[in-house]
Amino acid sequence: MTLTTVPCAVCGGTDFALIYPATIADPEADPALYYSSSRTLAGYLDIVRCRWCGLLLTNPRDDDATLARVYAALEDITYDVEDDNRLRTALAFLEWVERFQPQRGRLLDVGCASGMFVAVADQAKWQVTGLEVSSWAIGRAQQRCPRATFVTGLVEDQHFAPASFDAITAWDVLEHVHSPRDAIRQVSEWLTPQGWLFLNVPDERSWVARLMGRRWVLLLREHLWYFSRETLTELLTQLGFELVHARMNWVHFSVTNVLVRLSQYPGWLGRMAQRLAQQGWLRRIVVRFPMGEITVAARRIV
């Protein structure tokens, strides 16, 4: 495992200001302990802001080989147990897609995880392909939606033909990839002219992020990039997209899921949350709230 320093994904700048000092005491500890909803520990490495364009990012961060190894071996049991709430999220995302692309066609879901959104889109008569690096997640996805096509691997290693898809979705993905610029450039080649790209990413300028500051729950080792509407618009524009619309994302979680996530943090709050999470009846209580994410619809224009 190696930590590596990277340039800004939006402007290529190399001049950064430290915003949130690392909360991880031992950066040499196994990174897999800090990844996915099933993480054992929660924390982040140094988070800095580009002095040129304002993008917030983790720097230094885990190197590409470490990222590939961790994600390929990932088994995220915690993510997969809240099917009802994941279904609500998937349906909301599909409604967003069909608001801008009402004519159903070929859709690629990048980072499809265990396939909930793929299954919802398939039921709505989209021709869906799911792309996911975790073999465990692909297995779950194939069980959930056997009619869909699934591909295992990183987005940068795929070779879909040009204009293969009318719409491409990447829900909670762009903040994880080694290069958002390379990922967007890659998927743009797979889109038809005037095709649509739909994203959901952490919004570091959201009121949630600004209110919580260094305690924002989306500040995590696995999150490499923290966009705002401004920095995301700039990146998309550079790569031939028009950001048409954006909105704050609201999530559905059971109280148990929230407590499990809190239990991943050290200290008395984490210990108390761990004890409360054992109360089975709390799983039946579902809460809806914003975590500080932005959902985006962007149209390919070149």
Beta carbons within 10 angstroms of residue 191's beta carbon: 24
What tens digit of pLDDT does each residue of 34-56 get? 998 778 888 999 999 999 999 99
What tens digit of pLDDT does each residue of 109-154 get? 999 999 999 999 999 999 999 999 999 999 999 999 999 999 999 9
Q: 248 is written with which tokens?
A: 């704050």
**Residue 230 Cα distances to 20, 131, 133, 212, angstroms:** 20, 28, 29, 20
- The boundaries of the domain holding residue 124 are 3-300
Q: Is the peptide bond before 202 cis (omega within 30 degrees of 0)?
A: no
Query: Mean pLDDT across the stretch 195-207?
Result: 98
Task: Work out whether the CA dihedral 198, 200, 206, 207 comes out positive or negative.
Answer: positive
pLDDT at 62 over 70: yes
Q: 29 is written with which tokens?
A: 């500890």
What tens digit of pLDDT does each residue of 256-293 get? 665 566 666 777 666 776 776 677 766 777 778 799 99
Asked whether the whole model's pTM tops 0.85, one would answer yes
Name the domain count of the chain: 1
Helices 83-100 and 116-123, packing angle to 10 deg: 50
CATH code where residue 135 lies: 3.40.50.150
**Residue 7 Cα distances to 158, 171, 174, 259, 298, angstroms:** 24, 24, 16, 36, 24
Q: How far apart are CA 3 and CA 292, in angstroms?
A: 27
pLDDT of residue 259: 58
